[in-house]
Amino acid sequence: MWNLIAAQEGTFLNLGHTQGTDMLDSDQCPDCKRINDVLSRVGDRWSVLIVISLSQYGTLRFNELKRNLGISQRMLSLTLKELERDGLVTRTYHPTIPPKVEYNLTDLGRSFRDPVATFGHWALGNLAAIDAAREAYDAAAKK
């Protein structure tokens, strides 16, 4: 199994130490950079929360998403544009006064619901363990 390290924005996917093992390195895995491109989008905090919201509520307007998520207007706009670019979200503009813009998941976005739900359930089920680990780490770091 690959030792995948989650990429933060601006970093590349790293397969970890592979010397002397049968694990794939970047020369053997030309798609690893592409995997990083996808994971950096679908794995970021706001993208996941937007997919969860659209999964739960269906069609949502920009301000509904903003209000539900507690996200800044700029960050929501940037994230929605990237999700639309990646084919996960559709944007429908209605030329009314005031203008109305609605967002929905595409078929590809709906296919992402199950992995996101699994991740969300894992996070909820492990909150207490993570809190305990953080407290232990912080207490040890203070010594």
List the domain range (segments joined by +) for residue 123.
Answer: 50-142
**Listed range (35-44, 95-104, 132-141) with the worst mean pLDDT:** 35-44
Residues 89 and 30 placed together within one structural domain of the fold: no
Q: What is the mean pLDDT of residues 108-133?
A: 91
Residues 56 and 126 placed together within one structural domain of the fold: yes
pTM: 0.69
Residues 63 and 125 placed together within one structural domain of the fold: yes
Residues 57 and 121 placed together within one structural domain of the fold: yes
> How many Cβ atoms sit within 10 Å of the Cβ of residue 47?
21
Residues 7 and 58 placed together within one structural domain of the fold: no
Q: Which residues pair with 61 in a beta bridge?
A: 102
* Amino acid 76: pLDDT: 97
Mean pLDDT of the chain: 82
Q: What is the mean pLDDT of residues 51-60?
A: 93
Give how far Cα 133 sits from Cα of 5, 122, 126, 143, Å. Answer: 20, 16, 11, 16
Residues 131 and 61 placed together within one structural domain of the fold: yes
Residues 25 and 73 placed together within one structural domain of the fold: no
Q: What is the mean pLDDT of residues 52-62?
A: 94
Q: What is the mean pLDDT of residues 117-128?
A: 89
The number of distinct structural domains making up the chain is: 2
